[in-house]
Amino acid sequence: MGPEELKEKFRDEKEPAEIAEKIHELKKEGYQFLFSDRVKRLIVGEEWPFIQKGQESPYSEVMIQISEILGIRDRKSYEEVDDRYNLTMY
């Protein structure tokens, strides 16, 4: 899924519970979402190569927005959000 497709999937979602539900749906389709200590936010798996190389990710805009809506600012806030919405689902 490209960055524009991801942006479209989350376009109308403004509430944390709605964002979490959309993440669950995408995870069931095989997409990975995880916290990156390097960029201090939630990332989609497709971003990993960009982040590892220190490059700007084409997914960053939508993933920054998702992280902000969920209240993810650091590892601790990610863990709190994960506990609340079961983002890891495992």
pTM: 0.92
Q: HSE-up of 72 (CA within 13 Å, CB side)?
A: 28
Which pLDDT tens digit goes with each residue over 17-76?
999 999 999 999 999 999 999 999 999 999 999 999 999 999 999 999 999 999 999 999
Under 8 Å between Cβ of 60 and 54: no
Backbone angles phi, psi at 36, to 5 degrees: -110, 120
pLDDT band at 89 (very low <50, low <70, confident <90, very high): confident
User: In the chain, where are the structural domains located?
Assistant: 3-85
